[in-house]
Amino acid sequence: MKKVGLITWIKAVWNRLFRKEIEERFQADIQLSSVMESAINKYYNITAGKSPWLDPDDDIESINFAGYINDVTAGLVTLDLGIDISGGERAEYLQKQADYVLAVITDKVSEALGNCGIMFKPNGNDVDYIEPGNFAPTETDSNGNILGCVFQSQIDRGDWRYTRLEWHRFENTTLEDDTEGKVYRITNYAYKARAGRMATNQLSIGDPCKLTEVREWANIEPDISLLNVEMPLFAYFKNPAPNRIDRTSPLGVPVWHNALKELKDLDIAWSRKSGETEDSKHMTFLPQSAIRYAEQHNIKLPRFLKGVEMGVGVEKDNMVHEHVSTLLTEQRIKDINSILSMISTKCGFSQGMFALDEKTGMMTATQVEADDQETIRTIKNIRDALQDTITQLLYGCNVMADLYINTPPELWETLKEGMSFSFGDITYNYQEDMANWWKYRIQGDVPPWMYYVKFEKMSEEEAKKMIEEAQPKEDTLFNKFKEE
């Protein structure tokens, strides 16, 4: 069995045990079909450069363009993303959580857009990021929003592998005033198994153990119930496109899920172009007798000379054959650009978003222009989904702060009113902006120090001091007297 296949098989076995334990321990129905489990593994392999259509025997390799699409899209979505939360101590705490997320937001958005989404979950101190395959939805609403979910986390320590299952859900209950209401309940179970046991024993994920056996879980309550919780204390971010792999699933699909055929074609076309280039080395074939003569007389031949048995007879032995390879570069580039154009369209971008430059041979994403409405609309839809996700995450952080953080509580409505998001203009061109501001500076429309602050990364004080020192000093009687 190949290594990649073995890893996938072990992961699949682990997922089955994960599902089995959830169903038996929590008596919960998992809303994760085998179709989606298979898709998660496939998408993971594609973004890892291990696409299912690779064929070493046919020289078909991967350039991992899917990963490039993830990164480019994530870069546009999170361009100059800023979150500002004003208020008291609780607002300051939430601002720290927002800054913690912003530090890695581009990477996490890229991961989410390259698979079936990603979970953001507050843990009391900061935020956990949980990839598909490590969480299982147990309840959704009519819009497909996840209301209940089991999260899996693992820690290897010494000879043991520890696993924690954390179940979030809403439950109906009778309140203190004898009225029917809902509580938000979080239940934690821990297990331990000998490290490596998963490869040999597929019967269980291990034996139950106390949370206190793992120092990272020592302060986690085995079971808590919370009142007045309006949203789940986790936030799921996904590509806001319809899931046609499994229409009943609450999980999302990659931003390039409609372009799998084109991604395969691109890998094949690029591999063929690469193969032609590799085979284009100039060679001249001589009769093997000439090569032997040179070797016997210590004559060093140029590296492009190769010997070959041409047959028997003086005429054939004296033949020289020149190898001239055929490079179909222009046709290949046209074919590749045609594929890239279709990929752009199927990913929701404007035609020509991705292109292969004929002069440099570089494959790039082009500058987004104001008339690229398809690209702008796609990025805006993803930004809206990301903003909703982060807002729900901060709501969860606020609730968790009531349990773990010693800051005065504040109403979520008040905190939300003081919360603002800002995104950069994806049609922004730095060079054009700098040229315009230089023109404003020369015309006197803006103070010179503003230009240096904006484009030379100076502080206002540094810029003003530099401008002042550059001004010529007047030759006054006082200055002459001071010099003397």
The number of residues in the chain equals 484
In what helix (H) or strand (E) does residue 85 lie, and over which residues does it extend? strand 82-85
The verdict on 216 and 290 lying in the same domain is no
DSSP 8-state code for residue 60: B
- Give tens-digit pLDDT for 139-189: 999 999 999 999 999 898 888 989 999 999 999 887 666 677 899 999 999
- Same domain? For 161 and 270 the reply is no
Mean pLDDT of the chain: 85
What is each CA distance from 392 to 104, 165, 233, 398, 459, in whole angstroms?
A: 18, 22, 8, 10, 36
The answer to the question of residue 480 being in a domain is no
> In this structure, is residue 477 part of a structural domain?
no
Could you tell me if residue 483 is inside a domain? no
- Together in a domain, 283 and 249: no
Structure tokens at 197: 């046991």
* Domain-located, residue 28: yes
Q: Domain check: are 67 and 216 in the same one?
A: yes
Q: Tell me, yes or no, whether 383 and 356 share the same domain.
A: no
Type of residue at 220: I
One domain for residues 453 and 350 = no
Q: Are strands 305-308 and 283-287 parallel, antiparallel or unpaired?
A: parallel
pLDDT over 70 (residue 371):
yes
* Residue 356, beta-bridge partner list: 363
Neighbours of 454 (CB within 10 A): 14
Q: How many domains does the chain have?
A: 3
Asked if 301 and 317 sit in the same domain, the reply is yes
Dmax over CA atoms of the chain, in Å, equals 111
- 201 and 134 co-located in one domain: yes
Confidence of residue 130 (pLDDT cuts 50, 70, 90): very high
Q: Domain for residue 242, yes or no? A: yes
What stretches of 108-253 adopt beta strand conformation (E)?
118-122, 127-130, 135-140, 146-157, 160-174, 180-194, 207-209, 223-226, 235-237
> Closest Cα to residue 58, out of 360, 274, 300, 211?
274
Q: What is the model's pLDDT at position 1? A: 37
Domain identity same for 247 and 343: no
Strand order in the sheet with 305-308: 305-308, 283-287, 321-323
Same domain assignment for residues 236 and 303: no
CA distance 41 to 7: 10
pLDDT average, residue stretch 401-424: 91
My answer on whether 343 and 400 are in the same domain is no
Reported as a single tens digit per residue, the pLDDT across 193-244 is 887 654 445 567 889 999 999 999 998 999 999 999 999 999 999 999 999 9
Half-sphere exposure of 214 (CA within 13 A, CB side): 24
Q: What is the mean pLDDT of residues 268-281?
A: 76
Confidence of residue 254 (pLDDT cuts 50, 70, 90): very high
Which range marks the domain in which residue 443 is found?
430-471
In a domain, 95, yes or no: yes
Q: Is residue 127 part of a domain?
A: yes
Q: Is the pTM of this model over 0.85?
A: no
Query: Do residues 353 and 211 share a domain?
Result: no
> Is residue 409 in some structural domain?
yes
* Residue corresponding to tokens 């046609």: 244
